[in-house]
Copies of this chain bind each other. A is one copy, B any other.
Amino acid sequence: MDTCKAAVFVGTGKPIEIQEFPILPIEPGGALVRMQMAAICGTDVHASHLETTPAPTIFGHENIGVLAELSPIITTDVLGQKLQVGDRVIFRDAPCGRCFQCSMGESCQYSKSYGMIRSNESPYLRGGFGQYLQLSATPWLLRVPDDLSNERALLSVIGNHTCLNGIERIGGVNSADTVVIQGSGPIGLGALNQSLIGGAANVIVIGAPESRLKISSRLGATQTISLSDFPTPEARIERVKELTQGRGADIVIEASGGLTAFQEGLEMVRFGGRYLVIGQWTDYGLLSANPALLTRKVIRVQGVFSAGPRHIIRSMQSMRSIVTAPVEELITHRYELDAVNEGFEAHEKLEAMVAVILPNGDPAK
């Protein structure tokens, strides 16, 4: 039996280990993916510090790979395009279609999350930080078009898809809206991309450090507000008011996860405006907020995480033909499997915008 290597999280405080795993035959209806690129997500870095994170686990949930083996019952991808061994794909476990949340049009309660499953149970290879990944029966598959780079395809499932989910839920960007984005990390810049192609006239990015704001401007931000120039919430709120004729923004998108960001964002929305909250995923418990702003300004707030199948389809197509900015520059750091701990470090130090693992080596080398 063949074997392959994968990077395994073995518990907090310990370096991620490279371990060897058998490559089992695919299950009926399943598929085997040879990994090409997997992003180190902020969630991975965060999880690596939590005692509650299951271990051992092969992380890696933002993935692109090549079909190495494919059940004969799978012949097409979600768009009806022919699929065969050798095709590059974005993949997921399919929703079950028979739970309450599936029935309500929300995310499936039971589908597996690759990159968050213990590696000591067969078939072991369930995360993107390994040379191979085993897909369970009848996975959700989207073929990556030949003219789309791994980098841009991967960005489809980093921030951009979640932003599309959120933007759909708030009723879409209206033409010529002014959007304020709190945060200049991968999600904030995904929000920037998707706001611009959705028709925003002005997109104001609030963030740090200066290098990220420069990238924001290159990607199309009409203004940036630097945390070093405007170090207090009050100063930033006032700056947003100045840039919006005193009214506040039509849409604010929270993509920072900051402890005071939610309240700050509520202050920045105009009367009748909308507030999309994405960054507040980490549970810090009770924070401060003034709910009177909700009623007095008739604000609509929408929380969101992750995305549904259609958002990935749309996101990938946007990366292929709509977003013309050089988004691939967001992938600033590339690591082979052995260097996975360096990647986590670069993420932690905020050196990297997006750091990726190349589990089967860097074709560029």
Q: Is the CB of B280 within 8 A of A322?
A: no
Q: Is the CB of A97 within 8 A of B140?
A: yes
Across the interface, which residues of B come within 8 angstroms of A286, CB to CB? 263, 288-290
Q: Is the CB of A290 within 8 A of B291?
A: no
Q: Is the CB of B175 within 8 A of A197?
A: yes
Q: Is the CB of B198 within 8 A of A198?
A: yes
Also in contact, A300 and B298, with CB within 8 A (given A289-B286, A289-B287, A318-B176)? no
A232 contacts the other chain (Cβ, under 8 Å)?
no
Interface residues of A in 164-205 (CB under 8 A from B): 164, 167-169, 171-176, 194, 197-202
Also in contact, A175 and B318, with CB within 8 A (given A199-B199, A286-B289)? yes
How many chain A residues touch the partner (CB < 8 A)? Answer: 88
Q: Is the CB of A271 within 8 A of B106?
A: yes
Which of B138, B169, B301, B320 is in CB contact (< 8 Å) with A98?
Answer: B138
Across the interface, which residues of B come within 8 angstroms of A221, CB to CB? none
Q: Is the CB of B103 within 8 A of A78?
A: yes
Q: Residue of B at shortest CB range from A106?
A: B272
Also in contact, A97 and B96, with CB within 8 A (given A289-B291, A317-B176)? yes
Of the candidates A103, A194, A283, A284, the one having the most CB atoms from chain B within 10 angstroms of its own CB is A103
Across the interface, which residues of B come within 8 angstroms of A299, CB to CB? 301-303
Interface residues of A in 66-103 (CB under 8 A from B): 78-81, 94-103
Q: Residue of B at shortest CB range from A164?
A: B175
A313 contacts the other chain (Cβ, under 8 Å)?
yes
CB distance from A91 to the nearest CB of B (A): 10
Q: Is the CB of A317 within 8 A of B201?
A: yes
Across the interface, which residues of B come within 8 angstroms of A194, CB to CB? 175
Q: How far apart are the CA atoms of A271 and B108 in the complex, in Å?
A: 11
Q: How far apart are the CA atoms of A209 and B285 in the complex, in Å?
A: 31
A278 contacts the other chain (Cβ, under 8 Å)?
yes
Q: Residue of B at shortest CB range from A162?
A: B295
Also in contact, A199 and B318, with CB within 8 A (given A283-B290, A295-B304, A300-B301)? yes
CB distance from A284 to the nearest CB of B (A): 7
Which of B169, B272, B314 is in CB contact (< 8 Å) with A175?
Answer: B314
Q: Is the CB of A198 within 8 A of B175?
A: yes
Q: Is the CB of A281 within 8 A of B296?
A: yes
Interface residues of A in 281-336 (CB under 8 A from B): 281-305, 308-310, 313-315, 317-318, 320-322
Also in contact, A301 and B294, with CB within 8 A (given A141-B98, A175-B198)? yes
Q: Residue of B at shortest CB range from A176?
A: B317
Q: Is the CB of B169 within 8 A of A300?
A: yes
Q: Which residues of A contact B (CB under 8 A)?
A: 78-81, 94-108, 111, 138-141, 164, 167-169, 171-176, 194, 197-202, 245-247, 262-263, 271-272, 277-305, 308-310, 313-315, 317-318, 320-322
Question: Can you pick out 9 interface pairs between chain A and chain B where the beta carbons lie within 8 Å of each other?
Answer: A78-B99, A105-B310, A199-B322, A262-B289, A280-B294, A283-B290, A285-B290, A286-B289, A291-B303
Extra inter-chain contacts (9) besides given A103-B140, A164-B175, CB under 8 Å: A98-B138, A172-B173, A175-B317, A199-B199, A201-B317, A202-B321, A284-B290, A288-B289, A294-B303
